[in-house]
Amino acid sequence: MPFPIIDGHMHLATDSMVRKWTRSEQEESIIKKRREQFKIPRFELHSLQKTTELWKSEFNKYNIWKGVFLTHEPHNDEMLSFVKDTQFIGFTSVDPTEEDAPAMVEEDIRAGLKGLKLYPVNRGFSVSDKRCYPVYETAQALGIPVTIHFGVSIGYFSDLRYGNPIDLHPVARDFPDVTFILAHFGCGFLRESLFLSYQCQNIYFDTSSSNRWMEYLPYEITLKEVFQKCLKVLGPERLIYGTDSNFFPRGYRYSILQEQRLILDSLQISEEDQAKIFGENMARILNIRSG
């Protein structure tokens, strides 16, 4: 690629991190069925050291400058040591309805993380709940972005009532200086995400994953049409490239990079604007100087 790439949506998953995810038998069996149904590749888990080496080598191979890695919990020591390497950027995650959430976010940011990821659907809370406001105040004070996974979620025990990005409207309006990034173009709620981004200039979308949510819409739409619409409404300044790369042996999802690059070329988006989507926007949000 003719410009530095920052992947805005990846996941760090080490052996010890994944072992901590406790699941009921019912949940395990549903996950197993879904893995088969969607042909999700099997994954291997490694120590932090090995995982770090693997990502280093993938970044070298595909010429990825930096990657934003999301986590599922605050105060993860492995995440904090992983981001000592400047190629890797880490976001923390909290349940923002908990009283000590603002303090946990602040501690993680002071320890080297650069943003916050929220999972309202998986954790079952409304982002506009006033109990979450102290966390947004903290994000504003620290100048960090907040990535949110709305919409369709692979977790069977999630709660779709909290999946509509429209729920973020009062928050985005009350915190105009906080950058809110909707993962996977709003993951199914494309119309609502576009409405919200029209209302609030601090709404960004990330382009990550295979975007399989398109299959659950009541009409046919291609990723090219999604890009076209989003470019029209948000412009190239508010789109953040991502792949949702997470496990090995699959490693870096380079095919997603190739696909999105081809789509943007076919839409005749200039190199200058593509450079924004593929890295400059995230660099600006995170105050990273180009190197």
Q: How far is the CB of 133 from Zn ion (least distance, A)?
A: 25
**Residue 244 binds Zn ion, judged by CB under 5 A:** yes
Query: For the range 164-170, what are the long-range contacts, defined as Cβ-Cβ under 8 Å and sequence gap of 24 or more?
Result: 164/189, 164/192, 165/189, 165/192, 165/193, 165/196, 166/192, 166/195, 166/196, 167/120, 167/126, 167/127, 167/128, 168/127, 168/128, 168/196, 168/203, 169/128, 169/196, 169/199, 169/200, 170/128
- Binding segment for Zn ion among 89-97, 170-178, 229-237, 240-248 (CB under 5 A)? 240-248
Residue nearest to Zn ion (CB): 244
Q: How far is the CB of 206 from Zn ion (least distance, A)?
A: 9
- Binding segment for Zn ion among 29-37, 44-52, 83-91, 236-244 (CB under 5 A)? 236-244
Q: How far is the CB of 190 from Zn ion (least distance, A)?
A: 17
Size of the site for Zn ion (CB under 5 A): 1
Alpha carbons 206 and 97: distance in angstroms, whole number: 24
Q: How far is the CB of 94 from Zn ion (least distance, A)?
A: 17
Q: Report the candidate in 175, 125, 186, 185 with the shortest Cα–Cα distance to residue 145.
A: 175
Q: How far is the CB of 67 from Zn ion (least distance, A)?
A: 12
Q: State which residue, 102 or 151, has the beta carbon closest to Zn ion.
A: 151
**Residue 206 binds Zn ion, judged by CB under 5 A:** no
Considering only residues 142 to 181 of the shown chain, the ones binding Zn ion according to CB under 5 A are none
**Residue 95 binds Zn ion, judged by CB under 5 A:** no
Q: State which residue, 192 or 244, has the beta carbon closest to Zn ion.
A: 244
How many of the other CB atoms lie within 10 Å of CB of 225?
Answer: 14
Instruction: Kindly list the strands in the beta sheet with 88-93, ordered across the sheet, starting from the edge strand earlier in the chain.
Output: 6-11, 66-70, 88-93, 115-118, 146-148, 180-182, 203-206, 239-240
Q: State which residue, 17 or 275, has the beta carbon closest to Zn ion.
A: 17
Binding residues vs Zn ion (CB under 5 A): 244
